[in-house]
Amino acid sequence: RVGLATPPEAGQADTTQHLRKRKRKEKCHHSLTEDESEKKKRRLQKNKEAAHVYRKKQKDLFKYLTDRAAMLEKENNTMMEEIQALKAVSTAKTKV
């Protein structure tokens, strides 16, 4: 059961030693050639730009959806008020 905490034994103060963590792969310590280094830089820069575009897109979508939800709530409230008004008129007509 990797990654799960095991229950502490009775009277044991430090429970953090019971947590198992996955170890990261050790990085290769060989040096990169200039070409490999340049490719890595380009890839990292491209990834950074893509992440920025993605976050902006998500932020814009969130804003659009919250604005749309607010507009629909307002429209719903207006329609509910109209329904109440029409019911009042209908009730008044049936009493006459």
Residue spans per domain, the chain: 34-95
Task: Identify whether the C-beta of residue 14 lies closer than 8 Å to the C-beta of residue 27.
Answer: no
Check whether 13 has a pLDDT greater than 70: no
Give 33-83 pLDDT, tens digit per residue.
Answer: 989 999 999 999 999 999 999 999 999 999 999 999 999 999 999 999 999
Q: Is 68 helix (H, G, I), strand (E, B) or coil?
A: helix
pLDDT-derived band at 23 (thresholds 50, 70, 90) equals: confident
Check whether 19 has a pLDDT greater than 90: no
| Cα–Cα distance for residue pair 54/61, rounded to 1 Å | 10
Over residues 19-39, the mean pLDDT reads 78
Q: Which two tokens stand for residue 3?
A: 């990654």
| Cα–Cα distance for residue pair 14/53, rounded to 1 Å | 44
Q: Which two tokens stand for residue 17?
A: 């030693």
pLDDT-derived band at 87 (thresholds 50, 70, 90) equals: very high
pTM of the model: 0.55
